[in-house]
Chain A
Amino acid sequence: MIERDLVIIGGGSAGMSAAIAAYDAGLTDILIVEKGRQLGGILNQCIHNGFGLEEFKEQLTGPEFMTRLAVEVKKRNIPIRYQSNVLDLTKNKVVTYSNAKEGIVKVKAKAVILATGCYERSAGAIQIPGERPSGIITAGTAQLYLNEMGALVGKRIFILGSGDIGLIMARRLTLEGAKVLGVSEIMPYTNGLNHNIVQCLHDFDIPLYLSHTVTKTYGKSRLEKIEITEVDEKFNPLPGTEKEFEVDTLLLSIGLIPSNDLLKKLGLPVSKARGAIVDEHYMTDIPGIFSTGNVLHVHDLADYVAAESRSCGKGAAAYVKGAWNLDSPSFNVNPGNNVLYVVPHRVRLANLDDHLTIKFRVNRPLKNQVLTFTFNGEVIKKIVKPIIIPSEMQKVRLPKEVFNTQEGELIVSSEDRT
Chain B
Amino acid sequence: MKELICIICPRGCRLKVDDNLNVTGNLCPRGIIYAKTEMTNPTRVITSTVKINSKNAVRLSVKTAQAVPKAKMFDCMRELDKVMVEAPIHIGDVVIHNICETGVDVIATKDIEE
Q: Which A residues have a C-beta under 8 Å from some C-beta of B? A: 37, 44, 47-49, 59-64, 67, 146-150, 172, 175-177, 193-195, 197-199, 202-203, 386-387, 389, 392
Question: Which residues from A are CB-within-8-Å of B77?
Answer: 175-177
In contact, B5 and A202 (Cβ under 8 angstroms): yes
Contact of A195 with B7 at beta-carbon distance under 8 Å, contacts A63-B109, A67-B110 already known: yes
Question: Which residues from B are CB-within-8-Å of A175?
Answer: 46, 48, 73-74, 77
Q: Which B residues have a C-beta under 8 Å from some C-beta of A? A: 4-7, 10-12, 44-49, 51, 56-59, 61-63, 70, 73-74, 77, 91, 109-111
In contact, B110 and A198 (Cβ under 8 angstroms): no
Bound Cα distance from A62 to B49, whole angstroms: 13
Question: Which residues from A are CB-within-8-Å of B109?
Answer: 47, 60-61, 63-64
Contact of A47 with B5 at beta-carbon distance under 8 Å, contacts A149-B59, A176-B77, A194-B10 already known: no
Chain B residue nearest in CB terms to A60: B109
Q: Report 9 cross-chain contacts, Cβ distance below 8 Å, ordered by A residue.
A: A49-B63, A63-B110, A64-B91, A148-B58, A149-B58, A150-B51, A194-B5, A197-B5, A389-B10
In order of increasing CB-CB distance, the 4 nearest A-B pairs are: A47-B61, A194-B12, A63-B110, A195-B7
Query: Which of A37, A148, A198, A387 contacts B10, CB < 8 Å?
Result: A387
Question: Which residues from A are CB-within-8-Å of B7?
Answer: 194-195, 198-199
Question: Which residues from A are CB-within-8-Å of B57?
Answer: 148
Query: Which of B11, B49, B91, B111 contacts A47, CB < 8 Å?
Result: B49
Question: Which residues from A are CB-within-8-Å of B62?
Answer: 47
Question: Which residues from B are CB-within-8-Å of A386?
Answer: 11
In contact, B63 and A61 (Cβ under 8 angstroms): yes
CB distance from A148 to the nearest CB of B (A): 6
Bound Cα distance from A20 to B6, whole angstroms: 37
Chain A residue nearest in CB terms to B42: A203
In contact, A147 and B49 (Cβ under 8 angstroms): yes
Question: Which residues from B are CB-within-8-Å of A177?
Answer: 77
Chain B residue nearest in CB terms to A146: B49
CB distance from A47 to the nearest CB of B (A): 4
In contact, A49 and B59 (Cβ under 8 angstroms): no
